[in-house]
């Protein structure tokens, strides 16, 4: 008999609204607050899975939309499931495809049933419904399944936001039913609901109440990090998080920059994911304690310092800025690999520091010191 729980969230310590604890699952324990590297197409780009694990990651994210198109969820299942396919034996969270529903607005048709869309790969036609989303995530074998929703765009009128939110709540009920129908998978996995409602407190309250009535293992805050800015994002978190159960994990989807993460942890968020550390790394941007650094800048060509002077990652303990600058400017693939590895370590070191500070009861001091240095740095942004 397997005595490991299907899903058990425990809070070890709180410091203000910030919490640290664990999520115990059959494939491993997730330390919270947690950052999940994004493995869109069954890979965290430019990284082997053992390197991702060594950076401190307890869980990664897989993308339902991309995997259903290529190589297909059915093929992944036939090849032993996503964990075996990508050689990551630890927990995996799969998103529902809802964000892609929003981002592919020119290629999709939204109805009560679900979303019909054209593949961005070959134009082939597909349909995602809440039931199909649950089936795909079941075929992939994910440990944390996300309910199917529509990510409300920003800006958006209140009437449009309410219509979108209500649709997502009806889909949440169908997601719950679809998830539960997969008995073996449901018996070892967890299902999270997603709070929508845009920038409107009353709609967020309606959404949270509807999801709590259905009952989920965790609750995500969706519809943020879509262009509203940090101040408005924090405002939404300030009034939304008290609406959610304190004994369930809270997941802020698609966030974010290091200062976003620190601010959200102070408000009580437990889980994060974002493509920034990997995407930025491939494009020449390193995250450091002194702010973002653009390694392509000519001033780094003779710099013998590491990317981050206080970082202990394998990149910073071995290589100079001059060397990584040379690799990136030369288009060498090792440059993208080293930049990505550093960024993932930077994020995981930040999460470990936040967990330790919460446990020690000094997270406000930790955040103040980090944010003062981070915001006071050079911030060598890369142009869009």
Q: Which residues are catalytic?
A: 95, 273
Q: Which two tokens stand for residue 46?
A: 């430019």
Strand partners, 62: 39, 94
Contact 284, 328 (CB under 8 A): yes
Sheet arrangement for strand 115-118: 108-110, 115-118, 125-128
Q: Minimal CA–CA distance to 151: which of 135, 171, 176? A: 171
What is d(CA 144, CA 300) in angstroms, rounded to the nearest whole number?
A: 42
What is d(CA 343, CA 61) in angstroms, rounded to the nearest whole number?
A: 17
What is d(CA 300, CA 322) in angstroms, rounded to the nearest whole number?
A: 6
**Residue recorded with tokens 């058990």:** 8
CA distances from 154 to 12, 18, 59, 198, 296 (A): 36, 27, 29, 8, 32
Contact 344, 44 (CB under 8 A): yes
What is d(CA 34, CA 310) in angstroms, rounded to the nearest whole number?
A: 22
**Residue recorded with tokens 């430019």:** 46
Helix/strand/coil for 244: coil
**Residue recorded with tokens 């304190």:** 246
What is d(CA 253, CA 350) in angstroms, rounded to the nearest whole number?
A: 18
Helix/strand/coil for 9: strand
CA distances from 257 to 130, 195, 261 (A): 30, 21, 6
Contact 272, 252 (CB under 8 A): yes
Looking at residue 299, the DSSP 8-state letter turns out to be G
Pairing outcome for strands 92-94 and 8-15: unpaired
Taken as a whole, the chain contains a residue count of 384
């Amino acid at each position: 008999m397997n005595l490991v729980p299907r899903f058990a969230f425990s809070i070890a310590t709180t410091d203000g609204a910030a919490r640290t604890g664990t999520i115990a699952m059959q494939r491993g324990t997730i330390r919270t607050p947690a950052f999940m590297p994004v493995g869109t197409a069954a890979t965290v780009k430019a990284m082997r899975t053992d390197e991702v694990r060594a950076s401190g990651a307890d869980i990664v994210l897989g993308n339902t939309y991309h995997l259903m198109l290529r190589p297909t969820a059915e093929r992944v299942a036939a090849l032993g499931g996503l964990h075996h396919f990508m050689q990551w034996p630890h927990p995996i969270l799969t998103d529902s495809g809802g964000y892609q529903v929003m981002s592919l607005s020119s290629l999709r048709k939204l109805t009560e049933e679900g979303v019909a869309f054209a593949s961005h790969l070959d134009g082939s036609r597909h349909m995602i419904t809440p039931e199909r989303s649950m089936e795909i995530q079941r075929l992939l074998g994910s440990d944390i399944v996300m309910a199917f929703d529509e990510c409300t765009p920003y800006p958006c009128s209140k009437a449009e936001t309410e219509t979108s939110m209500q649709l997502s709540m009806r889909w949440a009920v169908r997601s719950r039913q679809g998830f539960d129908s997969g008995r073996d998978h449901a018996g070892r996995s967890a299902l999270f609901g997603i709070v929508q409602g845009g920038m409107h407190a009353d709609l967020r309250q309606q959404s949270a109440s509807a999801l709590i009535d259905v009952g989920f293992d965790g609750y995500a805050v969706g519809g943020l990090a879509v262009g509203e800015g940090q101040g408005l994002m924090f405002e939404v978190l300030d009034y939304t998080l008290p609406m959610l159960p304190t004994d369930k994990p809270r997941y802020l989807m698609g966030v974010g920059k290091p200062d976003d993460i620190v601010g959200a942890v102070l408000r009580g968020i437990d889980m994060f994911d974002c493509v920034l550390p990997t995407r930025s790394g491939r494009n020449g941007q390193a995250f450091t304690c002194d702010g973002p650094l653009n390694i392509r800048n000519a001033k780094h060509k003779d710099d013998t310092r590491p990317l981050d002077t206080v970082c202990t990652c394998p990149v910073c303990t071995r290589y100079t800025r001059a060397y990584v600058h040379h690799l990136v400017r030369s288009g060498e693939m090792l440059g993208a690999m080293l930049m990505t590895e550093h960024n993932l370590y930077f994020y995981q070191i930040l999460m470990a520091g936040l967990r330790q500070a919460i446990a020690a009861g000094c997270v406000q001091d930790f955040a103040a010191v980090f944010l003062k240095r981070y915001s006071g740095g050079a911030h060598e942004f890369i142009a869009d």
